[in-house]
Copies of this chain bind each other. A is one copy, B any other.
Amino acid sequence: MEKFNFEIVAKSQGSKARAGILHTPHGDIKTPAFIPVGTKATVKALTPEEVKDTGAQAVLANTYHLYLQPGNEIIKKAGGLHNFMNWHGPVVTDSGGFQVFSLGVALGKGLSKVTKKNEEMMLSHEVDEDLETLKAKIDNSGVMFRSHIDGSAHYFTPEKSMEIQHDLGADIIFAFDECTSPLESKHYQIESLHRTHKWAEDSLKHHVEKGKYKIQALYGIVQGGRFEDLRKESAEAIKKIEVDGIGFAGFGIGGSFAKEDMSDAVRWVTDILPEEKPRHLLGIGEPDDMRKAIMEGIDTFDCVAPTRMARNGTLYGKDGERMNMLNAKYKDDFSLIDDSCECYTCKSYSKAYLSHLFRADEMLAGTLASIHNVNYLVKLVDDIREEIIRSR
């Protein structure tokens, strides 16, 4: 991998935090960094220029969604995701594993009810035990699931996930993994973990065979639920995997974390993972969570929260408090969202205007709110980077 390189520029004294630069074929990412999610090849409600103006350095798109719509062949024909979506900075794609288990549904089960329930579960970060019997159908080779769009049946394997991600052409891609529920038994977690390790190796093998490691950095994913021994075993296993002398270019830490377990899970594995390689914490974007994870040595984050919250009318205030613009008190509040914020929204629009746009169900509401929330999280992580550099 010549074009991909991770450089650590500063290490914190009192923690495992580090500041670095991820060099990718489409530009650098200064780390730690928050990466907004553009699920279907668009960060919802924002143009690429608006995304860039928030300070975001990269976007993460979802393999599962793009495989189903418009299909990876279309994006390949367009010359890859960068060209297709007109984002010429670094792009990340996930493996599709998480969505296959959380959005896709098992064969022969009612679709709309299940996906609705799954979505609520994802949003609440809770797990509905009734759903345990409705999981996608897993065997050691891959996962059979149904599309959340039209119910059609699909089969993902590590090779399939790699093929799709090669077509999408992101700078950073992920090995196919099984993302278990934290409520699973230890017995099942062990079985699943060994499958995830085998799939990691299969993913890397396919990636190396196709020669794509020269232009796309493949990250292995550490799983293991809430069990310290499994998390450590997973980190050891994933870091050792090599094909033709080539290992993973970086590491993802996956899992549906209970909020209180996140720091532990990260600490256990960053003690083991090689220091010189980048680490991405999948699906985490809460300010406090990111701060803690950075102290434990995480370099990059992605999360739909800031844009989803934004579309629902909730914006981050100056001190991280959440303000819902549908609250009656904002109707005639002509102050800015955050007068110290330098984002486009905070330079020109009052809470009263945002309140009006949300009440009137205007599309500009989601745009202005997303700009602010993404800017808020990007800036928060950038500020932590500056602290690390100052404190080295």
CB of A359 to closest CB in B, whole Å: 6
CB of A80 to closest CB in B, whole Å: 12
A40 CB contact (under 8 Å) in B78, B332, B362: B362
List of 7 A-B pairs having minimum Cβ-Cβ separation, nearest first: A70-B356, A45-B363, A86-B348, A42-B364, A40-B360, A42-B362, A69-B360
Contact of A86 with B352 in the complex, beta carbons under 8 Å: no
Contact of A359 with B42 in the complex, beta carbons under 8 Å: no
A359 CB contact (under 8 Å) in B46, B70, B352: B70
For A334, what are the chain B residues with a Cβ–Cβ distance below 8 Å?
A: 77-78
Contact of A84 with B353 in the complex, beta carbons under 8 Å: yes
For A21, what are the chain B residues with a Cβ–Cβ distance below 8 Å?
A: none
Query: Which A residues lie at the B interface, using CB under 8 A?
Result: 40-42, 44-47, 69-70, 74, 77-78, 84-86, 331-332, 334, 344, 348-350, 352-353, 355-357, 359-360, 362-364, 366-368
For A45, what are the chain B residues with a Cβ–Cβ distance below 8 Å?
A: 363-364, 367
Contact of A77 with B332 in the complex, beta carbons under 8 Å: yes
Contact of A367 with B47 in the complex, beta carbons under 8 Å: yes
Contact of A364 with B70 at beta-carbon distance under 8 Å, contacts A334-B77, A357-B42 already known:
no
A353 CB contact (under 8 Å) in B85, B359, B360, B366: B85
For A86, what are the chain B residues with a Cβ–Cβ distance below 8 Å?
A: 348-349, 353
How far, in whole Å, are A185 and B282 apart by their CA atoms in the complex? 68
Contact of B363 with A40 in the complex, beta carbons under 8 Å: no
Contact of A74 with B366 in the complex, beta carbons under 8 Å: no
How far, in whole Å, are A295 and B13 apart by their CA atoms in the complex? 76
Q: Could you write out 17 A-B pairs with CB less than 8 Å apart?
A: A40-B357, A41-B353, A42-B362, A42-B364, A44-B363, A47-B368, A70-B355, A70-B359, A70-B360, A74-B352, A77-B334, A77-B352, A78-B334, A84-B350, A84-B356, A86-B348, A363-B367
A44 CB contact (under 8 Å) in B41, B70, B362: B362
**A73, closest chain B residue (CB):** B332
**A71, closest chain B residue (CB):** B331
Contact of A78 with B352 at beta-carbon distance under 8 Å, contacts A46-B364, A47-B364, A367-B363 already known:
yes
